[in-house]
Amino acid sequence: MTKQPESKLSTAIMKKWRTYGVFCYKVHGGEFQMAGIPDISGVYQGLSVWCETKMPGNKTSLVQDVRINQLRKAGAHVVVAYSVADATELIQHLESLARMNVTCATGDCLYTTLKELTN
């Protein structure tokens, strides 16, 4: 069975995130999974990181927007990624904050990609 483009993107993102030391896994949807949960869940330097993968031109659904907002309010760092570079920006951002000794454990340093702001 051939992987769908979004699945290929998720695999590539996880491969890249792991080079930064992120522990991450693919969240598989189904009848026992809460609707709207992002595609990738991970932990980076003690921080909860999530990634919703989308192909260019696609947008998140209303239920995905609700879950992303709930995760952010709970202190998680979430990115909607249209490319590996988009997802990597989140980790690089958190890495740069760590180098500056800025603490983001409670979600006060929310990160949004430029694409999210313009969609």
- Whether pLDDT at 107 is above 60: no
Beta strands 77-81 and 40-44 are unpaired
pLDDT tier at 96, thresholds 50, 70, 90: confident
pLDDT number for residue 104: 57
Across residues 71-94, what is the average pLDDT? 95
- Tell the CATH topology of 5-26+35-118: Trna Endonuclease; Chain: A, domain 1 (3.40.1350)
Contact 81, 87 (CB under 8 A): yes
Beta strands 77-81 and 47-53 are parallel
- Beta-carbon-side half-sphere exposure of residue 103 (alpha carbons within 13 Å): 2
Residue type, 108: D
Q: What is the pTM of this model?
A: 0.83
The residue extents of the domains of the chain are 5-26+35-118
- pLDDT tens per residue across span 13-72: 999 999 999 999 999 988 888 999 999 999 999 999 999 999 999 999 999 999 999 999
Beta strands 40-44 and 23-26 are antiparallel
In the block, tokens 């996880």 appear at: 14
In three-state secondary structure terms, 105 is coil
Give the C-alpha separation, 109 to 119, whole Å.
Answer: 21
- Whether pLDDT at 105 is above 70: no
